[in-house]
Structure formats: C-alpha cells, structure tokens
Chain A
Amino acid sequence: MQALPTAPMATPRRQVFVGTALALGAAATALGAMLAMWLRYRDAAISVPGGSWLPKDVSVPMVPANVMLIACLPICIFAQWAVYSAKRQDKPHAGLALGLVALLAIAVINAQAYIYSQMAVPVNEGAYGAMFYAATGTVVAMAAIGVVFSAVVAFRYLGGRTTDVEVVSAHALYWYVFSAAYAVLWFVIYVTK
C-alpha cells in the first residue's frame, strides 16, 4: 500500500502541562465532593433546634488558617516568577523562586499541623472529626505533593534542563489550583465553621 504523505517528527504538545491540568481537575473534584458532603452534614446538624456542627469545647484558630491562605499569594507569585525566569534562562532566579515556593509550602503544612494541635478534635467524635481530618488531610497531601513537585522541577532545571519551561509552567499551574482549592476549603471549614 502506498504510504500517506509524511510529516517531520512531531514533538508532543505540552504533554506535562495537560497531564498536570487533568490531575489537578481530578484533585479539585475530589475535594469539591468532600466539601459538598461537609456542607450537607453541617446543614443537617444546624437545622436541628439547638444543634451545632462544631463539637463542644472546640474553637477554630483563625490566625494560622488565615496565614495559610495569605501564604498562598506569595506561593503563586513565586511560582510565576520561576516561569518568568525560566523563560529567560535565568537560572539563579528560577532556582530561588522554586526554593521559596517549596519553603512556603512547608510552612503551610506546618501551619496545618499547628491547627490540628490547637483544635485537638477527636477524629472519632461524630461526623465533624472524621470529615475535618479527611478534608484538611487531603489539602495537606496536595501541599506535600507540591513540595516534591517543586523539588523535582528545581533539580531538573538546576541540573541543566533549562529549556524545559513547560514543566515549570505546569508547576505554577499546580500551585494556582492548590491556592484556589485551599481558599474554598478555608471558607467552608474555617470561616463558616
């Protein structure tokens, strides 16, 4: 059979970026479903006369929760700074930006651990405890994966793959979506209580 006209070898188009976007979509829907269930249970709890969703003697420490949200802003800025620097082959600044992203992400995880210790909600105390740890734990897991992602991108970039800007862009996308997801969680779990 005669062959079709052939084209030069094509490189995949933004494969890592598209893959990251799909993975983030999956993570977002998982968290969305969990928060929707949270709101349903919360609504059922407070609709009973005298009912309360937050367990007795438990208060939400808003300062670390707010600090985590505020930290998301520089995380996004630094992640975009890494993209900006990578596009200009500016190795020192790209490395610095990626390092700062990882550092702030670790700070976010630390703040969440502080919230756990301050709230001291028993995990087996009704629906609140189980859902609280499952939902916030999912975000902590996302932050931990993000730290690993930042480290991998940094090692790849500093190791010499300076033309691989797509991965740095995917990394920035990751933290944008993380920040949005955390903002929703912050409002649902910490603000509306």
Chain B
Amino acid sequence: MTTMDTHVPSAEDTLGPGFACLADWVTTTDHKKIGRLYLGAGALTALASLVIAALLAAERIDINRELLGAGSLTQLFTLQRFGLLYLTLAPIVVGVAVAVVPLQVGARSIAFPRLAAAGFWAWLVGAGLAVYAVVMNGGPGGGEPRFVDLFILATMLTMAGLLASIGSVAVTVLTTRAPGMNLRRLPYLAWSSLVMALALVVALPAVMGLLLYLYVGHHYPSLADFSGNQAFGGVVGFGFTQPFTLVFLLPVLGFAADAVATATHRKVGPRGPIMIGMGLLSLGFISVVAQGAPGLSAAFRDLSGGDKIKELIPFGIAYGLPALGALLVVGPTLQSLRRKPAVHAGLVFAVPAALLGLLGAAASVLSGIGDAALGGTVYEEGTMGVLVAAGILGGAGAVLHWLPKFNGRTVNGAKVAPLALVGLLGGALVSLPMMIAGFADQPSGIFPTVTGDGPIVNFQDVSGPVALWNSLALVGLALLALVVLGTIALAFLGGSKDAGDDPYDGLTLEWATTSPAPRHNFDAIHIVKSAEPLADLKISNRSDA
C-alpha cells in the first residue's frame, strides 16, 4: 500500500516563530485576541491622547506665555477631543466587550468574527489616518484642504470600525447565548454592552451621515454652512461631547457590577432596576438623534409653565435620565460592598471607576442648564475628563479581572490597589479643577487667539487661580498615564501563573472554562438556569456534599 505524506507545513515552519506569531495576531478571528488588540492599541492611543491633553494643560498654566504655536494649538485641541473619545474611551470599552462578552454568554465564538476583526483594523487605520491628517494641518480648522477631507473620511472609517466590532458583540448576545440564558439572565457587562451597541448603532451612523455632508461640502467648496473647515463643531460636535459620550460609560458600570458580584460571591441586585438604569444611561444618544443636546435655555426661569415643560422634557430625557440611570446602577453596586468583598484586582479598579462614572453622569446634567452659563467653558472638558478616567480605570480593571482567561495569570488585588487609588486621584484632578474653572468662566477651545498686533490671551479676565487649576489637571493627566503604563506592565509581566480555572470563585459562565480560555471558549455548552449559573452549581455541590 502506498502511503502519502499529508503533512502540511505550518506558518511557523515556513515563516519562523516570530512571523508566525505576528501573522496569527494579524489574521486572528478569535474574539479574545481581537479584544486584546483593541485594548493594546487603545492603551497606546490613550497615552498619546493624554500627552496631548497634558500639553494643552501646560499651555494654559501661564496665560501670558505661549508654549506652543497658535497654529498647532488648533490641531492639538482637535486631536485631544477626537483622541480622548474615539482613540481612548471607545476602543477600551469596545475591546473589553469584544474580549469578554462572548465568554460571558457561553458562546463558542463571537458572531461574524471576520467582521469584528475587520472592524478593529478599520478603526486602527482610520485612527492613524486621522492623526496623520491633523498633523499635516488637516482636521477641523486645518488649513490644508486635502487633509481636512482626509480627516473627515478617516473619522468615518474609525466610527465604521467601532460599529462593525460592537455590532458583532450585539449579534452574539442576541443570537448565541447559552441555552436557558434569557436576556434577564445576562451578566451585567453583557447587558450593558448590548445596550451600548444598540445605542451606537443608532447614533454613530447619524454622525457619519452628517460627516458625509461635511465631506461633500468641503471637497466641492460651496457657500453652504458646512463647507468650511470650521463647520465641524457646529454640524457634528454633538457626536464628540456629553451627553452622547455617556453611552461609552455603560460597559464600565457593567464591569463594576460584575466585579463586585464576583468579589462578594453574591448577586448584585435588584437586577431589574439595575438593567433599567443601564437602559436609561444609554439615552444620551438622544442628543445625536436630535442633532444637538436639548438643554435648558438661560431664560428658563422667565418662561411660562407650558414652555418650561417643553424644555424640561427633552432636557430630562437627554441629561436627567442618564444621570438617574447611572445612580440606579452605581448605588446598588456600591451597596453590595457591605458584604465584605474579597480584594480582587478587578474590584479595586471597579469601585473608583464606578464613582468617577457617577460623577461624570451627574456633572453632565449641569452642563445642560443654560442658567449655569457653562457652555463654552472648560467645564465640559472636566466632564469629559472624568468619563475618560472612568473608562481608563474600568478598562484597566477589566483587563486585570479577566486576565486569567487571557493569559492564565492572576494579579494580587492588594498589590495593585495603590495604582487604582492613583487612577482615582488622577480622575479627580483631571475633572474637578476644570469644572471649577468652568464656573469661573475659563473658556474652552483654542487659545491664545491671534488678532491684530499679536497673540492675545482670550481668558485673561478669568477670576481665580488659573495656573493652579491647570497645573492640577496636568498632574491628573500624568497620573492617568501612569495607570495606563502600570496596567500594560501588569498585563504582560505581573501576577502569578497557574491562576486556576476559577480563581475568584466566580458566578458567571466565563469562569466555567479553563484559564486561559481555549480558542473555542468552551468544550461543552452549558445550560443556564439563573443569572448566576456557577453559584447555582456550587450551592448544589455543597448541598450534595
């Protein structure tokens, strides 16, 4: 009998181990790797965004000294806003959702894995092109038309990539849950990711549609209001600010609730109000659908009763309900800590992330009140800063919490607690001084403005210690960058090996598989009978014993 050699050379045989590893990551369709690609790239872009924000804060410390050229300030301000939202907050929360949610719902893989991977690469390429365009004097306010066009297209590509990946997560939750896992039995991270995905599916395409108008209007210059390079903020600015950005807070709070439940070995409840709270938090997307945040006008007190109601209802939906939703989630989550939780790495980051998230949601409400006269001040930057800090802490916590499922390591919670406290301090310093400065009318935006004879600082009339506020913000940004660097180091080098399959005595399905989780996630599909399937099993085992 003739035998045939059926050996097919592997990539490692032909390319060598280094290239094979690279090729594996570049072509991967494993959701855990795609999620980690998002988190890794998001960490690097977060560092870059924090550095840019720090440069702007340094510029503001001494209002009479110009550190950076007036021209580059415009570009840096653009990059800061774009970077903090779409290169920091968004990839972190989307990365966590892509990496963890399929495990939580008992799926063997993410739905449309190639689409999810393509989404990551589209986001990465779009982000790179956007940064390149701004550096080349493109972007809003840029003077090079070709690169203004490129920035608009790159922003659309970035959003499309995020949509593709988070859409895959939504389809996974809707179609590939384990048997018995209805939507009410979803872990909080999975539910919050689903809600965020649906909100983004509604909101981001609306921003992209208007970006298309901007592109056509700019590429074929006309007299249209949106044809100039200054029109970006007016036409799509609502896609880069609160209350829309609160949508990205959802997975942070979902992770916090799951981490507390794992640490206390009890469910965090009541589930109904918490899940409703997450739904309410997503209502920030209304500001995009309405193409502008419906705030209360400055003359609100003088309005008639009927007109007051006309303003209050949309204001309540866009600002009030998301803040109420955050309270409905964070309140019971923190209340559960009375049960003496075990100090896990995830927990020590989850609590400050939840606190900062609640602060961000609450602070957003004030920015919509016209009588407070906070529009156009740095108050909005402070609110954005606290949301970004919550995202960074939430992302760091999620990475360390689920690290056993990624690389089989566990990190000691007590040892990383100082890093979490540094993050909490950083978040407070980034936001609170800016909020106070906002009340003192420190203007947001680009400065110094150049008029006539030379540079004029346009906030020289601001009362209060401007240098102190901006110095504190600078320190806060540095602390957040430290948290990002520390998390990267811990994820790659820290912790102990041999974590075990269920190192935290968890409650949800991801702890039922091996550490690290295999490519197909689970050897067997599990039947779920409650929101805490592993807790049911452990109680049953104890009863049997």
Query: A35-55 toward B: CB 8 Å interface, digit per residue (1/0)?
Result: 011001100000000000000
Q: Which of B112, B222, B288, B524 contacts A124 (CB 8 A)?
A: B222
How many B residues are at the interface, by size bracket? Answer: 35 or more
Q: Which residue of B lies closest to A11 (CB)?
A: B176
Q: How far is the CB of B360 from chain A (nearest CB, A)?
A: 25
Residue B111 at the A interface, CB < 8 A?
Answer: yes
- Find chain A residues with CB under 8 A from B316 CB: none
- Find chain B residues with CB under 8 A from A29 CB: 201-203, 205-206, 209, 289
Q: Which residue of B lies closest to A32 (CB)?
A: B206
CA–CA, A130 to B524, complex, Å?
55
Residue A118 at the B interface, CB < 8 A?
Answer: no
Q: Given the interface contacts A15-B176, A22-B170, A23-B167, does A4 sit within 8 Å of B537 by beta carbon?
A: yes
Q: Is the CB of A123 within 8 A of B201?
A: no
Give the interface segment out of A82-90, A107-115, A131-139.
A131-139
Residue A9 at the B interface, CB < 8 A?
Answer: yes
Q: How far is the CB of B222 from chain A (nearest CB, A)?
A: 4
Residue A6 at the B interface, CB < 8 A?
Answer: yes
Q: Is the CB of B525 within 8 A of A6?
A: yes
Query: B496-537 toward A: CB 8 Å interface, digit per residue (1/0)?
Result: 000001100000000010000000000011111000011001
Q: Which of B201, B220, B512, B541 contacts A26 (CB 8 A)?
A: B201
CA–CA, A46 to B441, complex, Å?
38
Residue B1 at the A interface, CB < 8 A?
Answer: no
Residue B66 at the A interface, CB < 8 A?
Answer: no
Q: Beyond the given A7-B526, A41-B224, please list 17 additional residue pairs across the A-B interface where CB-CB is below 8 A.
A: A4-B533, A10-B525, A19-B111, A23-B167, A26-B201, A29-B201, A29-B202, A33-B289, A34-B209, A37-B291, A124-B222, A127-B217, A127-B226, A130-B216, A130-B220, A131-B213, A133-B216
CA–CA, A68 to B540, complex, Å?
63
Residue B278 at the A interface, CB < 8 A?
Answer: no
Q: Is the CB of B502 within 8 A of A1?
A: yes
Q: Is the CB of B176 within 8 A of A27?
A: no
Q: Is the CB of A127 within 8 A of B171?
A: no
Q: List 12 A-B contacts (CB under 8 A).
A: A4-B527, A7-B524, A15-B112, A15-B175, A26-B204, A29-B202, A29-B209, A32-B206, A36-B291, A127-B222, A127-B223, A130-B220
Q: Is the CB of B524 within 8 A of A3?
A: yes
Q: Is the CB of A12 within 8 A of B210?
A: no
Q: Which residue of A lies closest to B536 (CB)?
A: A4
Residue A125 at the B interface, CB < 8 A?
Answer: yes
Q: Is the CB of A130 within 8 A of B512?
A: no
Q: Is the CB of B223 within 8 A of A126?
A: yes
Q: Which of A12, A15, A25, A131 contacts B202 (CB 8 A)?
A: A25
Q: Is the CB of A130 within 8 A of B222?
A: yes
Residue B163 at the A interface, CB < 8 A?
Answer: yes
Residue B389 at the A interface, CB < 8 A?
Answer: no
CA–CA, A129 to B227, complex, Å?
11
Q: Is the CB of B527 within 8 A of A5?
A: yes
Q: Is the CB of A5 within 8 A of B526?
A: yes
Residue B208 at the A interface, CB < 8 A?
Answer: yes
Q: Which of B112, B205, B501, B533 contacts A19 (CB 8 A)?
A: B112
Query: B181-223 toward A: CB 8 Å interface, digit per residue (1/0)?
Result: 0000000000000000000011111111110110111001111
- Find chain A residues with CB under 8 A from B176 CB: 10, 12-13, 15
- Find chain B residues with CB under 8 A from A193 CB: none
